[in-house]
Amino acid sequence: MFRLLSTFALLLALALPPETQAQTVLKINGSTTVNLPVAEAAEILRTEQGMAIQVDTQGGSSGGLSMLGDGLVDIGMSSKHLIDSDRSKYPQVQFEEIHIGEDAVAMIVSRDVWEGGVRALSREQLQGIYEGRIKNWKEVGGADQRIAFFNKSPGSGTWEVFANWLYGSAKKAPQVSFPEVGGNEEARNKVASTRGALSQLSASWADGKRVFPLALTTEDGRLVEPNSTNIATHQYPMSRPLFLLTNGKPQGLAQTFIEFVLSERGQQLVRKHGYLSLDQIE
């Protein structure tokens, strides 16, 4: 047994160089939405340039922000704008928002709701649903079916965009309790498999096969669908930017990474995952 232990200790000692190598690893964390092109970009850079990059999605956009603020990561991924209270939580940190693409938040419904005739919702109707005043689809032009609303989990940039549009600011959103969904896939799965379901989802994930994106009814009665044109021209109200956040101007590995994402290859990745690249936005 002693031999075993000493062998292990030896291996351990060999594996530990005198200095930790924290500076040569690029750490990224944040939104599951932004993660798609970023993770693939990381993979490419790892393979082609041997860069050491770690990507994680803990805590969503808010998690990306707070880990950047706490100094735990080098780049934060966010699918919403920074607001004043974000900045004031970390007065020492100089947040840089680097725009890498555009996406939108769609309200998606399950097949039975779509085929029951509901194709659009207005802000007032959504507020009614969110606040629990409207509980059945028949109140908004659909079939007699209970509305199963799934709310995005805390920290989600998608939720903040939704709350911003509905109430002007996330802070003004009322206190509600709904079942929670985490990342985009979980949201899509839950909505697809539940009758009368409604949730917020990145527009590029609403495939029109399992889940269906609703149009939003504007004040003047127009129906605006979350398609590329409307998102690019910002006609669709819940479009949202995709950001990489850094503390101060990006340097070193972070700079290399961000330059890659902003390059044509990187922007191709953005498009590949259904988002709008920078050149497509107006």
Partner 1 sequence: MASVGFTAFAILFLIGMVGIFLWQSLPVWQQEGWSYLTGERWFFRQLEFGILPMIYGSLAVALIALGFSVPIGVGAAIFAAEILHPRLRVPLKIAVELLAGVPSVVYGLLGILFLRDWIYSILTPFDPLSGDTLLTAGLLLGMMVLPTIMTLSDDALRGVPTGYRQAARGLGLTRAEVIFSAIFPQAWRGILAAVLLGFGRALGETIAVFLVVGRQDNVLPEHWFSLRPLIEAGQTLTSKLGGAETHIAYSDPLHWAAIVGLGLVLLAIVAGITWLAAWLMRAKEVSDAPGI
Partner 2 sequence: MRRVFDRFLTGLTALCALIGVSIILMIVAAVVWRGGGAISWDFLTDQIRLVGASGGIFYNILGTLILLVTALAVSAPFAFGIALTHGVFLRKTRSRERLMMWIYVLNGVPSILLGLLGFIVFVLFLGWGKSWLTGGILLGMMMVPTVAVSLSERIQALPSRYLDAAAGLGLTESQRIWSVILPQSFGGWVTGSLLGLARAAGETAPIMFTATIFAGATLPTGIKENPVLSLPYHIFILAQDSFDPATGEKLWGAALVLLLLVFSLSLAALPLRLHLHEEAKTS
> What is the contact surface with partner 2 in residues (CB under 8 A)?
1, 5, 8, 15-17, 19-22, 25, 27, 32, 35-36, 39-40, 42-43, 46, 52-57, 72, 182-186
- Residues 84, 256 contacting (CB under 8 angstroms): no
* Closest separation in Å from C-beta 4 to partner 1: 18
* Closest separation in Å from C-beta 63 to partner 2: 12
Compare residues 39 and 276 and give the one whose CB is closer to partner 2.
39
* Closest separation in Å from C-beta 27 to partner 2: 8
Q: Is 276 in the site for partner 1 (CB under 8 A)?
A: no
Residue among 191, 199, 130 nearest 158 (CA)? 199
Among 117, 132, 141, 154, binds partner 1 (CB under 8 A): 154
Q: DSSP states of 176-201 as a string?
A: ----EE-SHHHHHHHHHHSTTEEEEE
Residues 6+ apart with CB under 8 A from 185: 205
158 binds, among partner 1, partner 2, none (CB under 5 to 8 A by kind): none
Q: Report the C-alpha gap between 98 and 258 in whole angstroms.
A: 8
Among 40, 44, 51, 58, binds partner 1 (CB under 8 A): 58
Residues 6+ apart with CB under 8 A from 234: 282
- Looking up tokens 């930017």, which residue turns up? 241
* Closest separation in Å from C-beta 139 to partner 2: 32
DSSP state of 277: P
* Closest separation in Å from C-beta 76 to partner 1: 12
The token pair at 66 is 């707070």
* Closest separation in Å from C-beta 55 to partner 2: 5
Compare residues 148 and 216 and give the one whose CB is closer to partner 1.
148
Among 25, 43, 70, 222, binds partner 1 (CB under 8 A): 70
Compare residues 108 and 140 and give the one whose CB is closer to partner 2.
108
| Separate counts of helices (H) and strands (E) for the chain | 11, 12
69 binds, among partner 2, partner 1, none (CB under 5 to 8 A by kind): partner 1
156 binds, among partner 2, partner 1, none (CB under 5 to 8 A by kind): partner 1
The token pair at 136 is 């059945």
- Residues 162, 153 contacting (CB under 8 angstroms): no
β-strand partners of 90: none
Q: Report the C-alpha gap between 220 and 29 in whole angstroms.
A: 40
Q: Which of residues 187-226 bind partner 1 (CB under 8 A)?
A: 189-190, 193-194, 197
β-strand partners of 81: none
43 binds, among partner 2, partner 1, none (CB under 5 to 8 A by kind): partner 2
